[in-house]
Amino acid sequence: MDIEDLQRYSDAWNAHDIDKMMSYMSEDCILKPVGAERWYPYRGF
């Protein structure tokens, strides 16, 4: 991941674009932010 990828990931996070955020993760990644238990975990693609 380079600085441009990091900026795009950060932009996706700030835009609440889960699909774009997860496009940077592996298939077996589990995103589980603290405090958002009712919506997560978001699994796979």
Q: What residue spans define the domains of the chain?
A: 3-43
pLDDT given at position 4: 95
Confidence of residue 20 (pLDDT cuts 50, 70, 90): very high
Band of pLDDT at residue 43, cut at 50, 70 and 90 = low
Q: Within 10 Å of residue 42's Cβ, how many Cβ atoms?
A: 17
pTM of the shown model? 0.57
Q: What stretch of H or E contains 3?
A: helix 3-14
When the pLDDT of each residue in the chain is averaged and rounded to a whole number, the result is 80
Span 18-36, average pLDDT = 79
